Amino acid sequence: EAGVTQFPSHSVIEKGQTVTLRCDPISGHDNLYWYRRVMGKEIKFLLHFVKESKQDESGMPNNRFLAERTGGTYSTLKVQPAELEDSGVYFCASSRNGLAGVGEQFFGPGTRLTVL
């Protein structure tokens, strides 16, 4: 079974530019989560999809961030325009149908975003 994949692994952009991160969850996983870790801080929740619907987007920092999950498969997270404080590692995680059981969120390797 292929794991969660994320693209790109690294992105370096200038302030004001746009970046789109992609996450491909494990096939058949309805739940998809986005998290972010700023250097030295905790891994912080951004939002949760169940299939193509946003279940909870309470962690999204502001309206410069837009997440989509077309057809309930892969997801994209767009930052437009990017600011310096958006730098960090963005993780995607997925889990099976219904309420995730304990420890059943599988994480991708992350995308390291650097905004200069």
Partner 1 sequence: DQQVKQNSPSLSVQEGRISILNCDYTNSMFDYFLWYKKYPAEGPTFLISISSIKDKNEDGRFTVFLNKSAKHLSLHIVPSQPGDSAVYFCAEQRSNTGNQFYFGTGTSLTVIP
Compute, in degrees rounded to 10, the torsion defined by CA atoms 26, 3, 12, 59: 50
41 scored as a contact of partner 1 (CB under 8 A) = yes
**Euclidean distance between CA atoms 18 and 80, whole angstroms:** 5
1 counts as binding partner 1 under rule CB under 8 A: no
Helix (H, G, I), strand (E, B) or coil at 70: helix
For partner 1, the binding residues in 55-74 under the rule CB under 8 A are 55-56, 59
Q: For residue 53, state whether it binds partner 1 (rule: CB under 8 A).
A: no
HSE value, Cβ hemisphere, 13 Å, CA-based, for 64: 14
Q: Which residue in 17, 43, 51, 81 binds partner 1 (CB under 8 A)?
A: 43
Residue 103 as a binder of partner 1 (CB under 8 A): the answer is yes
- Complex with partner 1: residue 56 or 68, whichever CB lies closer: 56
Are 62 and 69 in contact, with CB atoms under 8 Å apart? no
Cβ 2 to partner 1, closest distance in Å? 14
